[in-house]
Amino acid sequence: GQNIDQPTEMTATEGAIVQINCTYQTSGFNGLFWYQQHAGEAPTFLSYNVLDGLEEKGRFSSFLSRSKGYSYLLLKELQMKDSASYLCAVKDSNYQLIWGAGTKLIIKP
């Protein structure tokens, strides 16, 4: 079966750094996406990795290791508005997105 695992919930302090991990087992791989979803809102795109390595985009970075089936999303200089769920999703061999359940990130002052 296809599976995406990520922690259910994480807590971090405003101004700090947090790393959200994602491991996956899918039938084929055509890229990994990270999305942010605030409560009651739609998911919004954060990053895309298809090759191994680190992609940096402002305060957010995403890392991929295809051999390990592993990715992480790194959030720096945390702000209160970063409180949201972070969804990891993988495109399988049929280009279908397989989604994790999301990690709820709680930012404390």
> What are the residues binding another protein (CB under 8 A)?
30-31, 33, 41-45, 48, 85, 87, 89, 91, 94-97, 99, 101-102
Q: How far is the CB of 59 from another protein (least distance, A)?
A: 19
Task: Supply the DSSP string of 11-30, one letter for each residue.
Answer: EEETTS-EEEEEEEE-SS-S
* Residue whose CB is less far from another protein, 38 or 108: 38
Q: How far is the CB of 48 from another protein (least distance, A)?
A: 6
Q: How far is the CB of 109 from another protein (least distance, A)?
A: 25
* Residue whose CB is less far from another protein, 4 or 78: 4
Q: In this structure, what token pair is assigned to residue 48?
A: 């895309």
Q: How far is the CB of 74 from another protein (least distance, A)?
A: 19
Task: Supply the DSSP string of 15-80, one letter for each residue.
Answer: TS-EEEEEEEE-SS-S-EEEEEE-TTS--EEEEEE-SSEEEEETTEEEEEETTTTEEEEEE-S--G
